[in-house]
Amino acid sequence: MSSSDEICRIYERTDLRRAGGGLIRPGGLKLTQRAVAAAALPPGSRVLDMGCGTGVTLGYLIHQCRFRGVGIDLSTNLLAEGRGQDPCLPVAQASGAHLPFIDAAVDAILAECSLSLMEDVGRTLDECARVLAPGGILLVHDVYARSPESGSRLKGLPLRCCLTGAVSREEWIERIEGSGFEITHWEDQSQALKEFAARLIFSHGSLESFWCGAGGGGGMEGGREIQQAVASAKPGYFLIIARKVSTAP
């Protein structure tokens, strides 16, 4: 199974969407609304939802925010589900490392818990810079390791998810600025991650049970080992707003 297939399999799980209120990430639309308001994007902005899943957020961007939105995702199943709910949903299967757009095609990119899933985050950020218009906005919600000395354990987890791509706040900033962005806003949103975890506990009985069924293998003992690695990294959640100041190198 390829790493892309592994990621899709995990994020196609309905229990994850239930924990996220229909979305596959912490914070739900409330956090999307927060990001859009903080970025002050005007109606009519061309916005790419990178990692759009079934298109719930994309529908919000188009119908409530009045943006000209488009979404991409790796999962054929999630995209098919989204098209089944809205046949006119403007989505395509694509990777963040190979965005199917010409240079300067969009005004903003929304990456909600998707950058950490990319196999090559640097290339993906360079692609974001390429397709953004001059002065374009990158809005990122994602996981970071508040205990970086333990964060390396996450990379060794026997599954692919956003946590395996978590790095320190400083490394996130270095990556984003290194691709030609100026960070204009950082906001800790770790409470959203705590609430997401609480809903997983409510639906599964424990986080160990969730990880046991997430594809890591090893039964309950494997689930316990995964949760111990996660807890040691003390994961947090953030909102970053960055403005393109130059093209990616």
In tens, the pLDDT along 147-171 reads 767 666 777 776 777 888 888 999 9
Question: Is the sign of the CA dihedral 228, 142, 31, 240 positive or negative?
Answer: positive
Whether residue 22 is predicted with pLDDT greater than 70 in this model: the reply is no
Coil, strand, or helix at residue 108?
strand
Q: Which domains does the chain have, with CATH numbers?
A: 3-147+160-192+236-244 (3.40.50.150)
CA-only gyration radius of the chain, Å = 17
Least confident of 55-59, 131-135, 208-212: 208-212
Structure tokens at 245: 């100041």
Whether residue 35 is predicted with pLDDT greater than 50 in this model: the reply is yes
DSSP string computed for 192-223 = HHHHHHHHHHHHHSSHHHHHHTTT--SHHHHH
Calculate mean pLDDT across residues 6-23: 64
Nearest Cα to Cα of residue 134 among 180, 69, 70:
180
Rounded CA-CA distance 59/191 in Å is: 25
Look at 46 and 206; give whichever has higher pLDDT: 46
Rounded CA-CA distance 141/34 in Å is: 11
pLDDT attached to residue 128: 98
Look at 54 and 209; give whichever has higher pLDDT: 54
Bridge partners for 38 per DSSP: none
Nearest Cα to Cα of residue 201 among 181, 230, 180, 175:
230
Whether residue 111 is predicted with pLDDT greater than 90 in this model: the reply is yes
pLDDT attached to residue 248: 44
pTM score:
0.89
